[in-house]
Amino acid sequence: MAGSQLKRLKASLRDQGITGPQKSKKQRRKLAQDGTARNDKRLQRGVVLEGIREQFNPFDLKHAARGPKFEVTTNKPKTSNASVKGRPGLAKAASEEKRKQTLLVDMQRRNKVGGILDRRFGENDPTMTPEEKMLERFAREKQKTHNKKSAFDLEDDEPMDGLTHMGRSLDFGEEEELADDFQEDDLKDDEDSDGDTREKRLKRLRAIIAAGEEEGGEDGEPERKKTKKEVMEEVIAKSKLHKYERQAAKDDDDDLRAELDKELPDIRKLLWSGLNGGKHQENAPLSTIAGVDRDAFDKNFDIQVKKLAQDKKAQPSNRTKTDDEKAEEESTRLKRLEEKRQKRMMGEEVSDSDEDEDDKKKDTAGGRQEDDEDEDDDDDDDGFGLGHGIKTRPTATELGFDDEDDFVIDDDLVASGSDLELVESDDDFDEEEEDDSDSANQAQVDEDDDDEFTKGLLNESETKDPIFQANFSSKEKSDENGLPFTFPCPQSCAEFVSITQDYDHTNLPKIVQRIRALHHPKLDSKNKERLANFSVALVDFVALPWNAATSPPFSVLESLIRHIHSLSKMFPVEIAKQFRQHLEEISQSRPIALLPSDLTVLTAIGTIYPTSDHFHQVVTPAMLTISRYIGQKVPRELSDYAIGTYLSILCLQYQQLSKRYVPEVINFALNTICSLSPVASSKSLGNFPVHEPSAGSRIQKAKKVELRRLNFSDCLAENSQEGGNALKLALLGTTIQVLDAAADLWTAKPAFLETFSQVVEVLSHVNSKPSKEHLPTAASEKTERLEEKLKRMSRVSQLARRPLELHHHKPLSIKTYIPKFEDTFDPDKHYDPDRERAEMAKLKKEHKKERKGAMRELRKDANFMARENLRIKKAKDEAYEKKYKRLVAEIQNEEGREANNYEREQKARKRANARR
């Protein structure tokens, strides 16, 4: 744009139509007539002028230092007037104006009260008490007067007691003072009538002090100096006044408190009505009544407070529950228990699914070490084991106990044994919650519990009686004489043996029964411990080395095992520990040289504990002990085969319910058949390990030998030597039966074909001609039958076989690494997922901003004050200068005049002299 500033201004004014060619009169009149239009125009004109002014004063506006930035997404959204960032000129002027109105006024009023500079000492010091202020001021004043003393001070000698008239002091001043004081006081009181008393009092106090001060300062001082005595009196009077004031304030407070106390019942009523309904309403009038009498009131108050506290704390959640509710709760509890039981039962029936659950748990942990897994097992086993106990129940009913009582008793025992913990814990729970009225109920429950125990035991012994009577009825009478009714409770196996050695083995169950009855835990508190030791001793007794001649017959062992079984419901830990100790001993001293007594122990374990558990503290080690023997033993003697066969049978019996696969059984059975078969096979018959049989183990020329069953004495090495062909045949026959049972047990296994194809091969080898010649027809028939059966089962299994489809899992989603997008993303906002941190950041930012603003303001204030001070100083200096100049001029003026006068005088004298 060309031209000077002025030219441009003119041009723009013309452009906007503000200046222009002169309008004709006609036009002007027309415009004047149209009032509204004129008004509009004037407004418009103002706007336009403003615009032009802005345009011509670019420094009024603040612009960005650089030109506009490129558009990017994170740019802050622009405000409407993008280019102008602010109007520093205007802002500055506004702030200046504001400061003038506030800060400047403050500055000017500083240290002044009502336009007068307040120089009183300590007036603005809040740390000083009025007395201190007074004393300090007094001291200062004294100092001042003292300093002022000069040698020529005439007033010093004769003290003046105020104005005197004819020697008498004038006391009207004092009266005036008081009058003024009271007037002021009244005035203030009136003003503050609605304020609270305390505030009033403080104000009044201040006013009094101020009044006193003013008088002292304004009235007294110019009048005269107060004497020391006067001043002291004044001070004392003032302090008394303050004291009184404080007293009055305290009284005021007390009054207020009393008033509040009176209102308390109402407040409490208000509180309780919200809290507890109408229950405590009746108490309210009582307390109001008590409120009159102080002691009674206090007492009542304490009681109420205590009640309040107790109320809140001890209020039971179900206290107000009605009977209906309680019944409902009970029913839900039962329902829950029932559901749990149901679940366990399901786990039993489909034991696989239960295991699955266990395993899932383990597998999520991935490749933990086996030890970890073991621990898992340990944790899981309880629930699982419990479930198991119930699982067998339906089978028990299926078995169809004819003796109804027996079954019921068993049920009781189960309840007390397995659910005992549960019941107890529930009772505890109840105890906490129940009121006095329920405690009777509670006691009843306890009693029930105890009853269950005793009843179970008593009933059991009762039910046992007929059995024993049935067994030993012939001996009963004769024994009745020889058998004492009381026995000491044996604490170890040796003791038990020594007690019983005098009696026939057949009496053992009777003795055990009597010991148990005599030492029932209910009879003596120590009996429980004694019985525990006794049960351990019984386990040891069963595990004593077996000998056909001296050991008790199996019918006795059987009933002893049953006794241990029933005792182990009372002492599960002790007996389990003892069994485990036996297993440990076996594994340490004779892992592959088991004794017949070990077989008894293992059998006992199989009946006492639920063998179908996924994991069981006793059964699992026992199972391992068995499989270790039949898996690792290389049979040398026929007795080894016999023990192995017994253990194989036991294995199958352990797995009767859970149908778990035991590879060792197949291995051992097949190896046994191979070793016993009359001729060795030329080729490998399967994947089982074959141990070269010892010489003479093969069945030779036994065409005529009868098939018999195996018995326990076959397990003894010295006996097995003599057995010969009969024993070998018995072994062969039993092994074939074992395989038969195994096939039945594992018929549904997915690899039945692979498992039993080896069996078929071995059997066909035994059935081959060279072997057949040596075997009795009964044995070979048996073999053939089993072979046929297995072939049939194999065909069925083949038909049922399907390719595996194990992995119908939900496909795993691929991990995504795409960040989470905000649809309405705002770069200024913080998307901090941590709420607290976000809030903290927000606060910090705000604080920083405020701080900066405050600092800026303070800086500006300081500038402003400096400017103002400078201005005042300048003004002062200027005034001084002016005055100085004026004075100098005045003096010079006067001097000049005097000089003129002098000269004139001189001239006049000269003239006069000359004249003379």
Partner 1 sequence: MPAGSQDSAKRKRASTGKVTKVAKRRLSSDEEAEDLNGKILLMEQGILESKKNYNDIANLLSIASGYEDGEEESTLAAVALCRIFLRLLAQGSLVAKKNQSEKEAVVFSWLKDQYSQYKSLLQDMLKDKDLAVTALTLCMRTLKAEGEHLHNKEEYTFPQAFLEGIVATLITSDSDDVGKAFLESYVEEFDDIRYYTFKSVKTILGRFNKDDIPDGLFDRAFALLSALDGVPQSAEELEDFYIPRPKKKSHNLRSAIQHKRQGQDAWLAILSIVQSKDERKRILSVISTNIAPWFTRPELLSDFLTSCYNAGGSMSLLALSGVFYLIQERNLDYPSFYPKLYSLLDKDILHSKHRSRFFRLLDTFLASTHLPAALVASFVKRLARLSLNAPPSAIATVIPWTYNLLKRHPTCTFMIHRVVQDPELKKHIQDNGADDSFDPKETDPIETGAIDSSLWELVQLQSHYHPNVATIAKIVSEQFTKQSYNMEDFLDHSYASLLDAEIGKEIKKAPVVEFHIPKRVFLPQDEPATNPDSLLVKLWDFGEPANGVAAA
Min separation Cβ 778 and partner 1, Å: 12
Min separation Cβ 480 and partner 1, Å: 24
Min separation Cβ 404 and partner 1, Å: 13
Residue 472 CA to residue 872 CA, distance in Å, equals: 133
Query: Which span sits near partner 1 by CB under 8 A: 296-304, 475-483, 555-563, 841-849?
Result: 555-563
Give whole-number Cα distances, 623 to 258, 604, 874, in Å. Answer: 86, 12, 112
Nearer to partner 1, 134 or 626 (CB): 626
Residue 414 CA to residue 810 CA, distance in Å, equals: 41
Nearer to partner 1, 133 or 789 (CB): 789
Min separation Cβ 517 and partner 1, Å: 17
Min separation Cβ 371 and partner 1, Å: 7
Min separation Cβ 838 and partner 1, Å: 35
Nearer to partner 1, 587 or 863 (CB): 587
Q: Which of 719, 617, 738 is nearest to 671 (CA)?
A: 738
> Nearest-5° angle of CA 349, CA 352, CA 356?
130
Question: How far, rounded to the nearest angstrom, does the alpha carbon of residue 775 sit from its chain's CA centroid?
Answer: 75
Residue 504 CA to residue 550 CA, distance in Å, equals: 11
Min separation Cβ 627 and partner 1, Å: 7
In this structure, what token pair is assigned to residue 137?
């001021």
In this structure, what token pair is assigned to residue 679?
């001729």
Q: Does 814 bind partner 1 (CB under 8 A)?
A: no
Min separation Cβ 751 and partner 1, Å: 4
Task: Categorise residue 392: left if φ over 0, alpha if ψ from -120 to 50, beta otherwise.
Answer: alpha
Nearer to partner 1, 212 or 596 (CB): 596
Q: Which of 557, 673, 727, 793 binds partner 1 (CB under 8 A)?
A: 557
Q: Which of 803, 819, 827, 833 binds partner 1 (CB under 8 A)?
A: 803
Q: Residue-wise over 293-312: b if at least 16 C-beta within 10 A, else e?
A: eeeebeebbeebeeebeeee
Min separation Cβ 566 and partner 1, Å: 6
Kindly write down the DSSP assignment for every residue of 143-167, as one continuous string: HHHHHH--TT-GGGTS---S-EETT
Q: Which of 340, 631, 761, 784 binds partner 1 (CB under 8 A)?
A: 631
Q: Which of 628, 698, 772, 789 binds partner 1 (CB under 8 A)?
A: 628
Nearer to partner 1, 282 or 402 (CB): 402
Residue 130 CA to residue 374 CA, distance in Å, equals: 84
Q: Does 445 bind partner 1 (CB under 8 A)?
A: no
Nearer to partner 1, 472 or 654 (CB): 654
List CB contacts of 679: < 8 A, sequence separation 6 or more.
698, 768, 770, 771
Query: Which span sits near partner 1 by CB under 8 A: 101-109, 150-158, 232-240, 351-359?
Result: 351-359
Q: Are strands 116-117 and 112-113 parallel, antiparallel or unpaired?
A: antiparallel
Within positions 458 to 517, which residues make up the interface with partner 1, using CB under 8 A?
467
Q: Which of 118, 234, 355, 476 binds partner 1 (CB under 8 A)?
A: 355
> Nearest-5° angle of CA 475, CA 477, CA 481?
110
Min separation Cβ 349 and partner 1, Å: 15
List CB contacts of 395: < 8 A, sequence separation 6 or more.
657
Min separation Cβ 831 and partner 1, Å: 32
Nearer to partner 1, 290 or 669 (CB): 669
Q: Check if the beta carbon of residue 629 is closer than 8 Å to that of residue 591.
A: yes
- The values of phi and psi at residue 242, to 5°, are -60, -40
Nearer to partner 1, 121 or 407 (CB): 407
Query: Which span sits near partner 1 by CB under 8 A: 190-198, 289-297, 553-561, 719-727?
Result: 553-561
Nearer to partner 1, 116 or 799 (CB): 799
Task: Categorise residue 113: left if φ over 0, alpha if ψ from -120 to 50, beta otherwise.
Answer: beta
Q: Which of 618, 702, 762, 793 binds partner 1 (CB under 8 A)?
A: 618
Q: Does 566 bind partner 1 (CB under 8 A)?
A: yes
List CB contacts of 109: < 8 A, sequence separation 6 or more.
115
Task: Categorise residue 758: left if φ over 0, alpha if ψ from -120 to 50, beta otherwise.
Answer: alpha
Query: Which span sits near partner 1 by CB under 8 A: 209-217, 374-382, 829-837, 861-869?
Result: 374-382
What type of residue is 889?
Answer: A
Query: Going residue by residue from 65 to 104, which x/- string records binding to partner 1, judged by CB under 8 A?
Result: ----------------------------------------
What type of residue is 393?
Answer: R
Nearer to partner 1, 212 or 610 (CB): 610
Within positions 727 to 756, which residues make up the interface with partner 1, using CB under 8 A?
734, 737-738, 741, 749-755
Query: Which span sits near partner 1 by CB under 8 A: 58-66, 316-324, 493-501, 619-627?
Result: 619-627
Kindly write down the DSSP assignment for every residue of 414-472, as one continuous string: HHHHHSHHHHHHHHHHHHHH--HHHHHHHHHHHHHHHHHHHHHHHHHHHHHHHHHHHHH
For residue 86, list its beta bridge partners: 62
**DSSP 8-class letter at 220:** I
Q: Which of 31, 271, 800, 899 binds partner 1 (CB under 8 A)?
A: 800
Q: Which of 490, 509, 621, 678 binds partner 1 (CB under 8 A)?
A: 621
Nearer to partner 1, 52 or 415 (CB): 415
Query: Going residue by residue from 576 to 615, which x/- string records binding to partner 1, judged by CB under 8 A?
Result: xx--x--xx--x---x-----------xx--xxxx--xxx
Residue 741 CA to residue 652 CA, distance in Å, equals: 8
Give whole-number Cα distances, 461 to 464, 522, 572, in Å. Answer: 5, 16, 19
CA Rg value for the chain: 59
Within positions 210 to 229, which residues make up the interface with partner 1, using CB under 8 A?
none
What's the 3-state SS for 184-218? HHHHHHHHCCCCCHHHHHHHHHHHHHHHHHHHHHH
Query: Going residue by residue from 508 to 537, which x/- string records binding to partner 1, judged by CB under 8 A?
Result: ------------------------------
Q: Check if the beta carbon of residue 665 is closer than 8 Å to that of residue 652.
A: yes
Within positions 390 to 419, which residues make up the interface with partner 1, using CB under 8 A?
390, 392-393, 396, 399-402, 406, 410-411, 413-414, 417-418
Nearer to partner 1, 6 or 804 (CB): 804
Q: Check if the beta carbon of residue 651 is closer than 8 Å to that of residue 623.
A: yes
What type of residue is 475?
Answer: K
Give the number of residues in contact with partner 1, rule: CB under 8 A: 136
Q: Check if the beta carbon of residue 637 is closer than 8 Å to that of residue 721.
A: yes
Min separation Cβ 839 and partner 1, Å: 39
Q: Check if the beta carbon of residue 732 is closer than 8 Å to that of residue 706.
A: no
> Nearest-5° angle of CA 373, CA 376, CA 381?
125
Query: Going residue by residue from 647 to 686, which x/- string records binding to partner 1, judged by CB under 8 A?
Result: --xxxxxxxx-xxxxxxx-xx----------------x-x
Within positions 688 to 707, which residues make up the interface with partner 1, using CB under 8 A?
688-690
Min separation Cβ 500 and partner 1, Å: 20
Within positions 239 to 298, which residues make up the interface with partner 1, using CB under 8 A?
none
Min separation Cβ 614 and partner 1, Å: 5
Query: Which span sits near partner 1 by CB under 8 A: 61-69, 83-91, 170-178, 552-560?
Result: 552-560
